[in-house]
Amino acid sequence: MLYEATEPHCTIRVYSRVVSVDSSKPSVTLASGEVVTADLLIGADRVKSVAREYVVGGPDKPRVTGDAAYRATIPAEKLLQDDELKPLVEKIELNLWMGPGGHIVGYTIVSWFAFFFDSIFMSYGE
């Protein structure tokens, strides 16, 4: 749905590892050597982010927060075989469960072929 809404207005690149950023243009250099310029660049490159250093002005190492996260991707066909789980992939919606010290988020991805599951909670151990 995001792709369909943005495709006429921009180019979304995935699987494009950024090795450097030039914020004065703005542009990024990819691992392939290709330089990509744009009016706006959005870095979504996770914890070991190259883009993050340019946003915060230097290295930004992960910090222990006491939170733990578990993630999984489940083939939608498996959920469709179970009457109780089928609604999770039949409807276009975000499933969010919140409670003290944590939450669980689930939504369909990859054109409804998979269901992404993310749980975050307070980890009281080291």
List residues with catalytic annotation: 71
Give the Å distances, CA to CA, from 74 to 21, 94, 106, 108: 34, 15, 10, 9
Q: Rounded CA gap, 93 and 87, in Å?
A: 10
- In this structure, what token pair is assigned to residue 43? 């870095």
| Cα three-residue angle 31-117-30, rounded to 5 degrees | 5
What is the full DSSP assignment across 72-113?
EEEEHHHHHTSTTTTHHHHS---EEEEETTEEEEEEEETTTT
